[in-house]
Structure 1
Amino acid sequence: MSVFKRDKKEEEDSGGNPYLNLDKTSVLQEARYFNQSPVNPRKCSLILTKILYLLNQGEVFTTQEATEAFFATTKLFQSKDVMLRRMVYLCIKELSTLAQDVIIVTSSLTKDMTGKESLYRAAAIRALCSITDSTMLQAIERYMKQAIVDNNPAVSSAALVSALHLSSTAPELVRRWANEAQEAVLSDNAMVSYHALGVIAGSRKNDKLSTVKLVTRLAKASLKSPYSLCLLIRLTAQLVEEDDSDASQPYIEFIECCLRHKSEMVIYEAAHAIVNLRKNARDLAPAVSVLQLFCGSSKASLRLAGARTLARLTAKNPTAVSACAVDLENLISDPNRSVATLAVTTLLATGAESSVDRLMKQISSFVSEISDEFKIVVVKAIRRLCTKFPRKHQSLAAFLAGMLRDEGGLEYKAAIADAIIALVEENPDAKETGLAHLCEFIEDCEHTALAVRILHLLGQEGPKSRQPSRYIRFIYNRVILESGPVRAAAVSAVAQFGAQRPELLPNIKVLLSRCQMDDEDEVRDRAVFYSIILDSGDPQLINDYIINVSQPNPVLLEKALRDHLEINPDVLFDINSVPTEEEPKENKEPIVEMEVRKPVQMSLEEIYAEQLAVIPGIEKLGPVFKTNLPVELTEAETEYRVRLIKHIYARHVILQFECINTLDDQVLEDVHIRLECPPEYEVKSEVHCQKLVYDKPGSVFLVVEFPCAFLGSLGSFGATLEFTVHDCDPTTGNPDPGEGYADIYPLEEFDIGCSDQIRARGAAEDFEQTWERSSNAPQASDTFVLPQNEANEAAQAVCEHLGLPKAAISGEAVKEIRGGGVFRGGAPVLVRARLVSRGDGTTMQLAARSPREDIAQLILAAVG
């Protein structure tokens, strides 16, 4: 037995990565060994492995280096070693995108592809299709068709997968292989059948009628491959989503039939499709029963699949999941932490108010055993529970506070703080409790960003509490003990108390005077700034610079400042012309996910900024005020699709017509728009789209000047798409010789309304005080009779006309709209309306206030 004992040093040496410290230059030097004859296959395989490792690690090869390595590798075609030949194919695939003249090995690969050695054929097909361009594919088309129906499953599958990759560059060519692929769909081999169905479905994705025929035919056939059945279920579910009529009932019956299949994979795919399609709990019952059985399976993968799908269903239909409560409670102690976390979050979302305390006790021990990633998922579920059961805020806040005291990273602590902050903002009864927990947390908070955010919240909510003075001590302690950024945030929070609580103002002034001696510039500057504003005693000044400070979008603010300095630095900069920070919109149907990702929130202005840069002289228009949501000007199934994006500036509007050509046998050139606009508008310039190829969007831009009078800015526009058509080869996309012919395409009319020109928002908590402070501003008011019978429906229509969010609507029997915003050019505006249903319509009293009377009149004109 001593022969099998390994030395301790040998064990330690064998655990590392042998390719960790590879040097590209030395590996390329080793590759010159390929030019010798004969060669050692094992040594060559090792060198090729090193090259592949460097490429997959992101090592950058120059064109010359890649070309030299590529042609050195081709010398190894002379070797008959099977393993070495497979490595050669892999290297050819990886180097073909970097090297030059790779097409020279086509003959060798074609010979291997059509040879008798089955071990080479599949790999040769994959390598050949990766290096051959669309113009030379026709030369091997006959061989590809033969390979698709080959008796060897590896060869057939390789040809089908290569066809899938080629469908993005040569769709017409792959479409001609459909007959062979249909024959392969009925193959006994599971993967061949699956890949063949993928090729056929991909070639028909733009032809709904062909897809319907395919699904109808295969639903009646008995496919043996579970992978093919899963793909067929997805295609069927897609057809049901697009057609919600009774004609889709046979498709639904086919999916329900798959719930009784012998393959667990197919059963889950069918249940998953039904869960995503059905809205009624009764229709969901068969799928939920299957998922319930999965939750009790001995296989961890099935338990995870069942728990995850039930968690997703909870967001849309929690009553359908309530029957699985017992099974989900059994999963809380599951050894797989992912399964346990999903079970906990689902129970939190479906549990009744009476079971909240019991659930909290059950998961208290569970939370301490999982990682921060899973804890964040649990915290988000508890946050939704706070919204669902506001009366349970005491126990939920206490549980969150206990989690806040545990060890954890910044993301975990931030998620808990977000949950408590949301509880404070949404539930007035929980305000005191939540603020107390946050005050206790910042005493020991080691994360600067989190402390700053909590101090900001204390400055907003603390002055409105019953005992505001109790929070000042916690805030001022941060000035004494913390770092510069936290001290600066504490100064801003203290100033909020002085601005909103006159009885505390003398003490606040003393604290601010002490802060004026701070070592940090930012802290001193803020203390002096707030002290001077509070000493002035001007309510309007205090409101604008301490209480309700507008927060412009920082990216657009920087861009606007750069443009201002380049164009007209001598003119005063108007910060009101910069869009404010918009809150990210919540998903309509939140989904419980195990992977926690932070989506990058980008405003529409940022998304289209790069596209607008092509317009000559755009910097002279100043900063963009607002970019509106796109408006479709054509039907969805037409040959040319056009949508309009309106970019609003202070004195101009840029109309961006985003066009897509859906015809693969045409290329459009010199695409432009003939605009029929009201007489008050004036078209200043137009940027044509020089070329519009198949399925690639292109844009036409028109710069239009607004009328001098705001009231004249409401109007309807007509538009016609004009272009020159060149017929082309659908396979290559190359236009036929000739001049082409001119053609037009009429578009739907569109309007520019009040909502396009205003950055609106709902009413803040101090709307009444703001409305009273604006009593001296010009006001326009009138009474309207609206056609809607219900006041709520009428209020929503008015908000849509004015661009106000639905959150601006309040009240029950008497609906009230309260909101405001900033009009293009920077003038603020306030809107107030009362709506009462009268049976045969709705009566509305509408009032608008603005420093500019014509803007107030415009608000009324937009509704009338």
Structure 2
Amino acid sequence: MSFKKDEESGLNAFYNNKSTIIQEARIFNESNVSPRKCRALLTRVVYLLYLGETFSTQEATNLFFGTTKLFQNKDGALRQMVYFTVKELATMAEDVIMVTSSIMKDMQPNSEVVYRPNAIRALCRIIDPSMVQGVERFFKSAIVDKNPSISSGALVSSYHLYPQAKEVIKRWVNEVQESVNVKPIASYFNSPQPSSSGYLGFSSPQPAGPQTIPSTSNITQYHALGLLFQIRQQDRMAITKMIQQLGGAKSGSGSSLKNPMALCMLVRYAVKVMEEDPNMHKQMYDLLEGWLRHKSDMVNYEAARAICEMRGVTPQQLTRSVSVLQIFLSSPKPVLKFAAIRTLSQLALTHPASVATCNVDMENLITDSNRSIATYAITTLLKTGNEASVDRLMKQITGFMSEISDEFKVIVVEAIRSLTLKFPAKQALMLNFLSGVLRDEGGYDFKRAVVEAIFDMIKYISDSKETALAHLCEFIEDCEFTKLSVRILHLIGLEGPKTLQPTKYIRYIYNRVVLENAIVRAAAVSSLAKFGVNAVDGTIRNSIRVLLSSRCLDDVDDEVRDRAAMYLKVMQQDVLAQKYVRDDSVFSLATLESQLVSYVNDSAASEVPFDVSGVPKVSRAQAQQESARPNAIDTIVAATPAKAAPAAPVQKTAEETKSAYAQQLAAVPDFAEYGPILNSSNKPAALTETETEYVVSCVKHIFKEHVVFQFNVSNTLPDTILERVAVAMQPNDAGLTEDFILPVESLSHETSPQIVYVSFTRDSPEGYVLGSFGCTLKFISKEVDPTSGVPEEEGYEDEYQLEEVELGAGSDYIVPNYAAFTAEWDKMKETGTSLTETFALSSMGSLKAACDSLIEILNMEALGGTENPQSTSVHTLNLSGLVTGGGGKVLARCRMTFSSGQGVTLELSVRAEQDPAARLVLAAIGG
């Protein structure tokens, strides 16, 4: 926008200057107002607002009330512009509610058609929510008006008012439902046509003829459907019934909706119901398939796209939607071709075989004049084609890379990236292409996509490693992006020492020390040090020491000097090298932060040093992913709510979730003396079905001397209030003594979910209590008067049986912990406890299923094994964990053999720092 302002001429800048416009606004006060001049001035006001110009409150108020003086003018086009300006200024001016009476005059049913919808829209912006009930009759009559412009204006205004006046607008549901139904279009062709148009295309109203604006689009249905969904969105059954009725599922005569946009919205509502209620999947899917045969291309595409994006969709279910998209590929309309090829491109990531049926049609689009369509066509073919077609497609891609924007270049590179992993034999061709585009002009996002693709080749295709590293070394010679240079230097430091000729990369790294900025120089120092630490040849280590000493210790930047000094010291002591360079593990920052906060807040713990051994570790790759995530540590009440959430929550890692639980429990005074939380459940355990009247889930929190059960309780009955809600627990095994229950005093449909806490004391804090608990939800139920909304004075005691809650070894006492498995395994042989047992897992149908089950039951970090569980009958799985409460590290080596008749035979070897921890792991499998 600033660039455009710089281009404005002096005359134009003066003409659209805020001060100039405010001065010229005096024409609103003239006795003989010129409609043409006033329209032009109001247009300039709106133009400034759309450019982002801001008026002070006083300036906006003066303009607002100056504009309202034009209400008396009879010029129709001016009146329209007045309403438009009033609506835009209403949010900045003061005392705007004073013009309500003037606006309401134009809302009368006998008002001019051209004024009434504008008045409704303006009133929506200035009215106070408490006044909505006073204008209810005006809105109701406007909603059912035969004129579509009036009806649409009232519906859209009601939609915007709904968040502030829900209860009033809910009473308009019958009128809104009537607007959804198809109305006969009034005859317009026999009425006199307007003879002239006003300024800016606004037509002056004609006094003669019927006041009906023609419409063949039934746009009112679109607006009415949106408002109807807003009103009923808390009632899932009503929404489902609405979709089925309007979609024609029950009437059998086809959809009663005629507007394509309304039908597209109905498609999205159907998808929402499918996601929230799996029981409605079949009915909603049948509706979507029916819309594939609609006469509107818009509806066909929306239904096809919805089916293609469904979770767990099968190739059989995709057949019809892919056929519809295939027809669109040969459409003469570019927008249809683009929409279809983009959807097929996304679908090819998960179902390439289903998309492959369209390959012939997509090949015809490679030469399309629209390069966006051609780009998607080629990239989709790359995902669905075979190895023999790669060479031909790559030649075509190379030909038009210079003709497309960076956005589509990124799409092409992503396709190349996935294709390389699919056909490793073609890695040389792909690498040449990527290195070529890396030298072309382009922005940061494009260059980053290319670098990421080369990174993946280095990681997954060992044959390409040395060539790819050489291309990256050449790229950083002229790289203008500091972030990319730092990442490449880091990768060269990790992979370079492992190559056959590590010395050839040192020159490129040292050039960065000489020629680049301080950030890149510091990264280059770290990369050089890794060559020195990991070098087998002592000559290389001495050379690195000379390079660091001769130039880096005298660098002008203190970060570069400090790194050089530290790494020179590290290279002299192998213990430091193992700890600071070779070790690939770091502390989980979310858990470390949570435990540090608990330690600082615990007054009794200040006399004892902070114990870092209880903090689990993760790999550096996991830590980078964790740090790149948005900060989403919110209070967690992890239940399935009765009311639909407005947006999907941010997906959190297990460590972030536990940190959030720690903050939540810290706010409860009864747990103030319990100390820090040792562990919390990764996810809530459902104790009821999601469709029952009461929805309950449980989260377990382990303290040093206590166990706290958190029950997330939701009341799905809108006409019932629950009081004194508590959960009675009966331990099936000894080892825990109940302390207290923190009930919920009142629980309604609107206030759900809420939390009930039940606390137990661990009789033996050094041991690990395992077992199950019978649970019963107890409460006092009170009916609510539907008219007054007041619950009855006396209710009745009731209870609801819940599923059992289990305390398990892995899920509650062990947390995943990254480790250098071989080194730790050998170390614990001398210093720890070793136990071995054999188990028969007869229910496991494959080694892959056994591995997944072991990881889930033991809740330990999988660190790989010796074989591929998908292709052999023998596999070794290595696991690492940390036992809470001072149990220390624990490692497990799972040796498995599979036979089709007997299932999986498991030899479980466990080594731990303490004997109870090792026995806990065995109990998790044997129990």
TM-score (norm 1): 0.82
Aligned partner of 1:801 among 841, 854, 857: 857
Inter-partner Cα distance in structure 2 for 1:37 and 1:730: 57
Contact 1:644 1:655 (C-alpha < 8 Å) held by counterparts: yes
Aligned residue number for residue 112 of structure 1: 106
Aligned residue number for residue 822 of structure 1: 882
Q: What are the equivalent positions in structure 2 for 1:138-287 lying under 5 Å apart?
A: 138-168=133-163, 173-184=168-179, 185-188=181-184, 189-205=217-233, 206-208=235-237, 210-211=241-242, 212-215=244-247, 216-217=249-250, 220-221=253-254, 223-236=257-270, 255-276=288-309, 279-281=313-315, 283-287=317-321
Q: What are the equivalent positions in structure 2 for 1:411-810 lying under 5 Å apart?
A: 411-504=445-538, 506-507=541-542, 508-514=544-550, 517-519=553-555, 520-538=557-575, 542-553=577-588, 571-575=608-612, 577-578=614-615, 580=618, 581-582=622-623, 584=625, 603=653, 605-606=655-656, 609=660, 614-616=667-669, 621-622=675-676, 628-645=682-699, 656-665=710-719, 680=735, 694-695=749-750, 698-700=753-755, 702=757, 707=762, 709=765, 711-717=767-773, 747-753=802-808, 754-760=810-816, 767-776=821-830, 777-792=832-847, 793-804=849-860, 808=864, 810=868
User: What is the CA deviation profile of residues 742-767 of structure 1, one whole-angstrom value per residue up to 9, with x for unaligned ones?
Assistant: 776554433343234444267x8x64
Contact 1:791 1:836 (C-alpha < 8 Å) held by counterparts: no
User: What is the CA deviation profile of residues 388-436 of structure 1, one whole-angstrom value per residue up to 9, with x for unaligned ones?
Assistant: 1122111112211112222222222222111111111112222222222
Mean Cα displacement is larger for which, 429-438 or 171-180? 171-180
Structure-2 change in CA distance of 1:666 and 1:442 (3 Å)? same
Structure-2 change in CA distance of 1:555 and 1:238 (3 Å)? closer
Structure-2 change in CA distance of 1:335 and 1:239 (3 Å)? same
Mean Cα displacement is larger for which, 774-783 or 82-91? 82-91
Inter-partner Cα distance in structure 1 for 2:362 and 2:178: 45
Contact 2:739 2:761 (C-alpha < 8 Å) held by counterparts: no
Mean Cα displacement is larger for which, 771-780 or 792-801? 771-780
Structure-2 change in CA distance of 1:706 and 1:419 (3 Å)? farther
Instruction: Please state whether the residue corresponding to 1:517 is helix, strand or coil.
Output: helix
Aligned partner of 1:847 among 909, 921, 924: 909
Inter-partner Cα distance in structure 2 for 1:836 and 1:502: 38
Structure-2 change in CA distance of 1:613 and 1:481 (3 Å)? farther
Structure-2 change in CA distance of 1:542 and 1:371 (3 Å)? same
Shift in Å, 1:529: 3.3
Aligned residue number for residue 76 of structure 2: 82
Shift in Å, 1:623: 8.1
Inter-partner Cα distance in structure 1 for 2:601 and 2:651: 28
Shift in Å, 1:798: 1.5
Aligned partner of 1:339 among 346, 350, 373: 373
Contact 1:110 1:124 (C-alpha < 8 Å) held by counterparts: yes
Contact 2:725 2:746 (C-alpha < 8 Å) held by counterparts: yes
Shift in Å, 1:349: 0.9
Shift in Å, 1:173: 4.9
Residue identity in the other structure for 1:521: D
Structure-2 change in CA distance of 1:605 and 1:86 (3 Å)? farther
Instruction: Please state whether the residue corresponding to 1:315 is helix, strand or coil.
Output: coil
Aligned residue number for residue 403 of structure 2: 369
Contact 2:725 2:756 (C-alpha < 8 Å) held by counterparts: no
Shift in Å, 1:239: 5.9
Shift in Å, 1:332: 3.2
Inter-partner Cα distance in structure 2 for 1:73 and 1:721: 63
Residue identity in the other structure for 1:183: E
Aligned residue number for residue 3 of structure 1: none
Aligned residue number for residue 4 of structure 1: none
Contact 2:779 2:797 (C-alpha < 8 Å) held by counterparts: yes
Aligned residue number for residue 213 of structure 2: none
Structure-2 change in CA distance of 1:132 and 1:772 (3 Å)? same
Q: Across the two proteins, how many residue pairs are aligned to each other?
A: 833
Shift in Å, 1:41: 5.3
Inter-partner Cα distance in structure 1 for 2:779 and 2:836: 48
Inter-partner Cα distance in structure 2 for 1:12 and 1:28: 20
User: What is the CA deviation profile of residues 23-42 of structure 1, one whole-angstrom value per residue up to 9, with x for unaligned ones?
Assistant: 6xx98898798788776656
Contact 2:177 2:224 (C-alpha < 8 Å) held by counterparts: yes
Shift in Å, 1:851: 1.9
Shift in Å, 1:833: 0.5
Shift in Å, 1:362: 0.8
Contact 1:829 1:850 (C-alpha < 8 Å) held by counterparts: yes
Inter-partner Cα distance in structure 2 for 1:560 and 1:643: 25
Aligned residue number for residue 352 of structure 1: 386
Inter-partner Cα distance in structure 1 for 2:840 and 2:519: 54
Shift in Å, 1:795: 2.6
Shift in Å, 1:283: 4.9
Residue identity in the other structure for 2:387: E
Residue identity in the other structure for 2:682: N
Residue identity in the other structure for 1:755: S
Structure-2 change in CA distance of 1:795 and 1:709 (3 Å)? farther
Aligned residue number for residue 635 of structure 2: none
Contact 2:678 2:885 (C-alpha < 8 Å) held by counterparts: no
Residue identity in the other structure for 1:760: P
Residue identity in the other structure for 1:113: M
Contact 1:259 1:287 (C-alpha < 8 Å) held by counterparts: yes
Shift in Å, 1:502: 3.5
Shift in Å, 1:352: 0.9
Instruction: Please state whether the residue corresponding to 1:700 is helix, strand or coil.
Output: strand
- Counting aligned pairs with the same residue, the percent is 45
Aligned residue number for residue 289 of structure 1: 323
Inter-partner Cα distance in structure 2 for 1:60 and 1:675: 61
**Runs (5+) with no aligned partner, structure 2:** 1-6, 185-216, 627-648
Shift in Å, 1:94: 5.1
Structure-2 change in CA distance of 1:862 and 1:725 (3 Å)? same
Inter-partner Cα distance in structure 2 for 1:689 and 1:80: 63
Shift in Å, 1:771: 2.5
Structure-2 change in CA distance of 1:480 and 1:234 (3 Å)? closer
Residue identity in the other structure for 2:895: R
Inter-partner Cα distance in structure 2 for 1:543 and 1:830: 20
Contact 1:515 1:524 (C-alpha < 8 Å) held by counterparts: no
Structure-2 change in CA distance of 1:584 and 1:521 (3 Å)? closer
TM-score (norm 2): 0.77
User: What is the CA deviation profile of residues 41-95 of structure 1, one whole-angstrom value per residue up to 9, with x for unaligned ones?
Assistant: 5666567667656766677788888777766665554444434444454455556
Aligned residue number for residue 121 of structure 1: 116
Inter-partner Cα distance in structure 1 for 2:68 and 2:447: 56
Shift in Å, 1:353: 1.1
Inter-partner Cα distance in structure 2 for 1:578 and 1:193: 58
Instruction: Please state whether the residue corresponding to 1:416 is helix, strand or coil.
Output: helix
